[in-house]
Amino acid sequence: MRVLDSHLHLWDPEILHYTWLEGPLAWLFGRTEIEHARLERATTEHSIFVQAETIEDDFLDEVRWVAGLAPAIGVVGIVAGARLDRGTDTTAHLEGLAAEPLVVGVRHNLQGEPDGLAVSAGFVTGAREVAARGWAFDACIRSSQLPEISRLAGAVPELRMVLDHLGKPEVGTADAPAAPTMEWVRDLDDLARHPNVCCKLSGLPAEAGGDWSPAQLEPFLDAAADAFGVERLLWGSDWPVSVIGPPEAGDPYANDDGAPMYQPTARSRWADAVIAWADRRGHDVDAILWRNAEEFYRVGERRTHADAREERPRRGILGWLRGERS
């Protein structure tokens, strides 16, 4: 089974700067860590790296860092960080990104931005510049922002856009599941009317705080399939954000107090859950796991080759699990 993970993060707090990392996420997640999180059922596994919200001054450095790792870990495309509301500064930044051949899209993380920014004149101008370069735009928003993103899609119909994490609906937990709300379904349907927009089946485990079950999340997958059609759905792991939660059964490194921690099998569990759901519904699994992302990000001609470079030992999440936390 081949998998093109449409939403993979990597980060290194020693060389790049982040303001939001804390707890189990505040560690190195790089080459060694993703190798230990490979999908159990994948015979071929590539990925799209999505910017990890470094500080703005590090956006280009992040791209270069990931590009250096890409051949060894199977990254075939990079969605770079960008501010689309900066006028001439946006133009200059996009020109800098254009020099990096792995860049296939950008993300201006909108989930914490004020209402109206995504449809402001400056942002729309920046979005048109992204489209003119043939790149895609990742829309990371909260569910309340879905109508605004729909307006952006209408204002820039030439921009290929993908909704990250189904718009982050409230999903509850495995023991206390929340059903899709009428408002979220309505707004998702409205966004899907724009043919330039796709949707990532990603991020729901994180919305559940890592405490989720397939049965709990399948109604949200059904709503996405009904709205967008299978041909516009992309599977994404949202690793490592979506693999933090209660200790997994049998984990020898589990916290005694049950505090949230890294879940070693969660990436494969999420892939298995989506595969099982798609099989039962008669959906095209290869399209969801590979073809749709390949076509959306236009990475069909890209291939990676592992190299033999050695990394110096680093204090990544694997060391944290083994108690090397001083």
Question: What confidence tens digit (pLDDT) does each residue in 180-194 have?
Answer: 999 999 999 999 999
Cβ atoms 100, 77 nearer than 8 A: no
Q: Is residue 42 part of a domain?
A: yes
Question: What confidence tens digit (pLDDT) does each residue in 232-277 have?
Answer: 999 999 999 999 999 998 888 887 787 899 999 999 999 999 999 9
Number of domains composing the chain: 1
Its pTM stands at 0.94
Q: Is residue 102 part of a domain?
A: yes
Phi, psi of 207 (to 5 degrees): -65, -25
Q: Is residue 308 part of a domain?
A: yes
CATH code: domain of residue 289:
3.20.20.140
> Domain limits at 15?
2-321
Concatenate the DSSP letters of all residues of 253-296 into one string: T--TT---EE-TTHHHHHHHHHHHHHHHHT--HHIIIIIHHHHH
Q: What is the DSSP letter of 248?
A: P
Residue 321 has pLDDT above 80, yes or no: no
Phi, psi of 161 (to 5 degrees): -130, 145
pLDDT at 315: 60
pLDDT at 178: 98
- Average pLDDT of 78-106? 98
Q: Is residue 113 part of a domain?
A: yes
Label each residue of 25-93 as H, E or C: HCCEECHHHHHCCCCCCCCEEEEEEECCCECHHHHHHHHHHHHHHHHHHCEEEEEEECCCCCCHHHHHH
Q: Is residue 326 part of a domain?
A: no
Tokens 């309340």 — which residue?
Answer: 144
Distance of CA 49 to the CA centre of its chain: 8
Average pLDDT, the chain: 93
